[in-house]
């Protein structure tokens, strides 16, 4: 999944400035880079998500549609730039593009913006990624310009990002599965705009399952838990239903959309 450590930076790290002084020339140079636009997109995502969360808890609820759209606009800007850089580096090679995390997320963001289900949970993974991206960018580019690259603040950000970046990616994978369950519940309760988001998220998770070890691990945990519950209940009808569910997922797993992860797993054995 996307992370602050996996992004390709197009801008050299800013040189340190005397503490407390702002090098306006370096700041202007930074602002006019593509990477700063990527940073701005991530900031927009974080700000939009915070505002969306406030509407979710009934603070200024009338703004929930606007906040949802602002968050996704930030997603399209930040991930769009990363996909653009990927194309610049490798050309329009479909095989590379379709396996890239950034492609998966910009497609999801685009579909959510178009379908507008206004489901708060769908924004959470994007907010997690953008939070770490903003912190890493501020630490690597903004703080040196104001002479704070060796400050306690910089040290704290460095430690926080390094200690929690991988955990945040794993957490986002889990939240994506929780989101899928919520979308299923919306579908079976006939909520407005529930079918299309469910179908889009199904394809998205299928792709994530093929490229993300975290997602596969969570799915395995769910499957093992389901096996245990079914065996403990020991009811023939439940056994039959669960067997059919597992069979359907097994059939779906045979058809790979973007990556045959089984070959990679066999090589590591």
Domain limits at 184?
Answer: 24-268
Q: Are 250 and 90 in contact (CB under 8 A)?
A: no
199 within domain boundaries: yes
Does residue 77 register a pLDDT over 90?
A: yes
Per-residue pLDDT band at 228 (split at 50, 70, 90): very high
Nearest to 3 by CA among 167, 246, 121, 115: 167
Backbone dihedral region for residue 202 (phi beyond 0: left; psi -120 to 50: alpha; all else: beta): alpha
262 within domain boundaries: yes
Q: Are 220 and 227 in contact (CB under 8 A)?
A: no
Per-residue pLDDT band at 17 (split at 50, 70, 90): low
12 within domain boundaries: no
16 within domain boundaries: no
pLDDT tens digits, 81-135: 999 999 999 988 888 899 999 999 999 999 999 999 999 999 999 999 999 999 9
106 within domain boundaries: yes
pLDDT of residue 262: 76
CA-CA distance, 257 to 207, in Å (whole number)? 6
pLDDT of residue 23: 76
6 within domain boundaries: no
The span from the first CA to the last CA of the chain, in angstroms, equals: 23
Q: Whole-number mean pLDDT of the chain?
A: 90
35 within domain boundaries: yes
Per-residue pLDDT band at 141 (split at 50, 70, 90): very high
- The total number of structural domains in the chain stands at 1
11 within domain boundaries: no
DSSP code at position 15 = P
């Amino acid at each position: 999944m996307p992370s602050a450590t996996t992004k390709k930076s197009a801008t050299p790290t800013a040189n340190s400035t005397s503490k407390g002084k702002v090098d306006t020339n370096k700041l202007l140079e930074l602002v006019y880079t593509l990477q700063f636009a990527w940073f701005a997109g991530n900031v927009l995502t974080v700000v939009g998500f915070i505002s969306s969360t406030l509407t979710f808890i009934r603070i200024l609820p009338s703004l929930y549609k606007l906040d949802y759209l602002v968050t996704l606009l930030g997603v399209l800007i930040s991930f769009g730039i990363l996909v653009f850089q990927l194309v610049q580096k490798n050309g329009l090679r479909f095989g590379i593009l379709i396996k890239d995390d950034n492609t998966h997320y910009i497609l999801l963001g685009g579909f959510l913006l178009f379908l507008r289900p206004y489901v708060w949970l769908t924004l959470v993974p994007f907010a997690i990624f953008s939070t770490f991206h903003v912190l890493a960018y501020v630490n690597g580019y903004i703080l040196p310009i104001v002479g704070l690259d060796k400050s306690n603040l910089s040290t704290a950000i460095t430690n926080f990002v390094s200690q929690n970046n991988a955990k945040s990616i794993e957490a986002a994978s889990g939240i994506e599965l929780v989101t899928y369950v919520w979308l299923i519940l919306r579908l079976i309760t006939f909520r407005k705009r529930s079918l299309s988001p469910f179908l889009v998220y199904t394809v998205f998770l299928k792709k994530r399952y093929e490229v993300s070890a975290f997602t596969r691990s969570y799915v395995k945990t769910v499957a093992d838990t389901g096996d245990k519950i079914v065996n403990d209940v020991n009811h023939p009808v439940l056994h039959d239903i669960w067997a059919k569910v597992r069979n359907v997922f097994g059939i779906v797993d045979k058809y790979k959309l973007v990556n045959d992860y089984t070959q990679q797993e066999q090589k590591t054995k």
